[in-house]
Chains A and B, each alone.
Chain A
Amino acid sequence: MTITAPTGASLNVTALELDDIQAGTLRPRPDPYAGAYLALRIDDRRDGQELVRRLAAVVSPAAEVLDPLAQASLSVGFSFAGLQALGVPQDSLDTFAPEFRQGMAARAEELGDVGPSAPAQWERPLGSSDVHVVLVMLAPDVARFEATLATARAALDRLPGIGRVWRQDVYSPHDGRNVLGFHDGISQPGVESSGVPGSNPHEALLKPGEFVLGYLNETGDVSPAPQPEVLGRNGSYLVFRKLYTDVAAFRRYFREQATSPAEEQALAAKLIGRWPSGAPLALAPDHDEPELGADPDRNNAFLYGADDPQGLACPVGSHARRMNPRDAAVTGEVRLHRLIRRGASYGPQLPEGILDDDGGDRGLLFAAVNANLARQFEFVQAQWGNDGKFIGAPDEHDPLIAAHDEHDQLTVPHKPIRRRLKGLPTFVVNRGGEYCFQPGIRALRWLGDRNT
C-alpha cells in the first residue's frame, strides 16, 4: 500500500525500509551480551551536528545485521531537549508526540513514578534537560563491546561541545538470568516484513507501524511520523528506565511466605509468571523445566485464554501475564499495546542465599521500542502495570514493578483453594529514564547536515 506524503512523494506504508531503520529498533539483541547506555549533552550545536554526522556513518541499519545474536550494534536516540539543542525547527518539533515533547519526568503522574520513584529522587541527570543524546551499545561479548565503545568514542573525538553526562553499563549473563535470578526477555512480538518472526508462534505478526513511524499499524492507520518526512519516517520512540530492584527484599518476602526452598521458588515464579529457567508457568505449571526454558521454539509458544483461563498455571495478575495478556479475557485489544522489549540487567548480582541488602545498585535497564507512546508504553505502564481493572481486580497492581501499599496482594489461583500473597513490598523503584526518538539513518544525516 502506498500513500502520498506531504512532499508529494509516494510512500510504501507496508514494506519496511530495513536499510534505513536502525538495527537497534527491530533486531533482537545478542544473547548473552555486554553493553552500555551513554547519555550526552550538546553544549555546542555545531559539535552536536558533527557528532550526528559521524554517528550516521557508524550506526548499523537493520538490513545489515543479518545475525543479530552474534553482532554488536550501536543505536542512537535523542530526547526532545536533544532535538532542540540540534536546532530542529519549532514547526518540526511541534509534530512529535506530545508525551515525547514533555519527556518522561513530566509524565511521572501518569506513569506512577511517585514516592521513591518520583523524578525528584532520580539519578542525575536523568529527568533533566541535560540528557540530549542516548547511545546504546550491545555486543555478544566484552571484546566486541569494547570495539563498539571505541567506535562511539571515535565519534566523540575532539568535540569539546559534547558532554558525557551519564553512563550505565548493562549485561545479560550466559544463562540470561536477571538480578532476581529469572531468565527474562524471552517474549518478543514479530513484525511484518521485518524478517523477525517473533517468539510466540501463536501470535500473528504485528503491523510495522506499531513500532516504526510512517507505516500501517494495527488500527489500520499510518502511524503519524514527525515532519518533515525525511526526519520522521523510519524512526521509533525508545523508552528507557533504570529500574532498581531490591533483590534482598524479594528473597526475604518469599522466605517468609514459604516453608521450603522449593515453595519459595514456586511462589516467586507465580509472581513473575515464569520459572527461573524462563520456562513459562502456562506450560510448566508445577515445577521448573530448564530444557523448556532454554528452548526458543517452545518457551514462548503458549496462550492464556485457550490454555489457562483461570490462571491456575500462571496467575492472571502475575507480572508476565499482565505485561502481555495474549488471548486472555481482559479489557481492551492486546495487539494495540505491544512493545518490543530491550531490557538489560545492570549492577552486580547479589550472591545467592544473601537475604540482607548490601547497598548495591542493581536491577533492570528497561527499554522498549514503540511507535505510539500513549497507546503502547504509557498504556501498558498505567493500565496493565499500575491498575487491575483490566483483569477485574481493581485492588491489585503488578506484583513486581508497581509501587505497593500495605493492602496490595496477588491472587494465586490454585486447586482446591486459591492463595493470596499479601503485604507485598515494593520491589522495584524507577531511578530515572527518558523518552528518545530513534531516527532512521537518512534522518540522522538530515539532522547532521542542517545548516543552522
Chain B
Amino acid sequence: MTGTTSVKSGKGRVHGVVSELSALMTVKEGHIDEMKAAIKVFEDRLRDAGTKSTLQRIGLRSLRFVLFDDDHRLMWLTSFESEWDPYVDDAVALVGLPVWADWLQHTNEFTIEDVDAATNADIKAFLQSGQIEAAGFWDYFGDVTQPQVTKALRVDRAFQQVLDDPAAQEALAHPALAPLLQQAAD
C-alpha cells in the first residue's frame, strides 16, 4: 500500500478544539480472538500512566473499539485535540507502528503483508479508507485542551494545600491575592 501524508479526508467533525475520527472495518475470518487480545493490549497501553505524556502529545481524548455484527465488524471511534489530518503522522509515530499494526492486521482492509515494512503513510491511508463522517459530535470540554485541564488541576491541588494551612487566611489577605481568596470558599 502506498499513500501520501498530504491528503486530507475532510470527514472529521470538530467541536471547539476537539475533532473526531470514526472508522468502520471488517474483522478477518478467524481473527476475532487475536483482534480482541490486540485491542486489550492497545487499551492497556493507553491506560498505562507512563504513556500519559505521549498521549498528551498526540492529543488523544478518547478512543473506543466497538465489535458488532456478530464480531464481524469493528467501529473505531476517537476524539482528540487539534485536527486529525495534520497530526495523523505524528500520532502513528508517537504510538509506534507496531502498536497500530498489532490490531490493524486483523482487519480485512489492512492488506500489507509485511507489517514491518508499513509506513506512517500506509497507516494514515488505511484509516482514511475506513473513515466515515459522523452526523454529530459534541464534547463538554470542547473549548479547553488537556494541558489547560492538567494545569488547572495542578494549580487546584496546590491551592487546596495552601488552604489546608492554618495560616492561609492571613496569607491570602494581601490585596494582590484577592482573586485567589475569592476562590477559597468552596
- Residues on A close to B: CB < 8 A? 310-312, 316, 411, 413-418, 420
Q: B74: CB under 8 A from chain A?
A: no
Q: B112: CB under 8 A from chain A?
A: no
**Pair A310/B164 contact, Cβ less than 8 Å:** no
Mostly helix, strand, loop or mixed at chain B's interface?
helix
Which residues of chain B (149-174) have a CB below 8 Å from chain A? 160, 163-164, 168-169, 172
CA distance A312 to B182 in the complex (A): 13
Residues of chain A within 8 A of B168, CB atoms compared: 417
Q: B32: CB under 8 A from chain A?
A: no
CA distance A435 to B181 in the complex (A): 49
Q: Given A416-B181, A418-B163, A420-B164: A311 and B169 within 8 A (CB)?
A: no
**Pair B172/A416 contact, Cβ less than 8 Å:** yes
Residues of chain A within 8 A of B164, CB atoms compared: 420
Q: B186: CB under 8 A from chain A?
A: yes
Q: Can you give 17 A-B contacts (C-beta < 8 A)?
A: A310-B185, A310-B186, A311-B186, A414-B185, A416-B172, A416-B181, A416-B185, A417-B163, A417-B168, A417-B172, A417-B184, A418-B184, A418-B185, A418-B186, A420-B160, A420-B163, A420-B164
B88 to chain A, nearest CB (A): 33
Interface residues contributed by chain B, number (CB under 8 Å):
10
Question: Closest residue of chain A to B168, judged by CB?
Answer: A417
Most buried by A among B181, B184, B185: B185
**Pair B186/A413 contact, Cβ less than 8 Å:** yes
Given A316-B186, A420-B163: 15 more A-B contacts, CB < 8 Å: A310-B185, A311-B186, A312-B185, A312-B186, A411-B186, A413-B186, A416-B169, A416-B181, A416-B184, A417-B163, A417-B169, A417-B181, A418-B163, A420-B160, A420-B164
Question: Closest residue of chain A to B166, judged by CB?
Answer: A417
CA distance A330 to B172 in the complex (A): 30
Question: Closest residue of chain A to B173, judged by CB?
Answer: A416
Residues of chain B within 8 A of A411, CB atoms compared: 186
Residues of chain A within 8 A of B172, CB atoms compared: 416-417
A375 to chain B, nearest CB (A): 24
CA distance A414 to B168 in the complex (A): 13
Residues of chain B within 8 A of A310, CB atoms compared: 185-186
Question: Closest residue of chain B to A315, judged by CB?
Answer: B186
A388 to chain B, nearest CB (A): 14
Residues of chain B within 8 A of A415, CB atoms compared: 185
CA distance A415 to B183 in the complex (A): 9
CA distance A418 to B172 in the complex (A): 13
Residues of chain A within 8 A of B163, CB atoms compared: 417-418, 420
Question: Closest residue of chain B to A420, judged by CB?
Answer: B164
Question: Closest residue of chain B to A422, judged by CB?
Answer: B164
CA distance A407 to B157 in the complex (A): 15
CA distance A413 to B164 in the complex (A): 13
Question: Closest residue of chain B to A413, judged by CB?
Answer: B186
Residues of chain B within 8 A of A312, CB atoms compared: 185-186
CA distance A312 to B184 in the complex (A): 11
CA distance A20 to B163 in the complex (A): 57
Residues of chain B within 8 A of A311, CB atoms compared: 186
A392 to chain B, nearest CB (A): 11
Question: Closest residue of chain B to A417, judged by CB?
Answer: B184
Question: Closest residue of chain B to A310, judged by CB?
Answer: B186
CA distance A310 to B184 in the complex (A): 11
CA distance A205 to B186 in the complex (A): 32
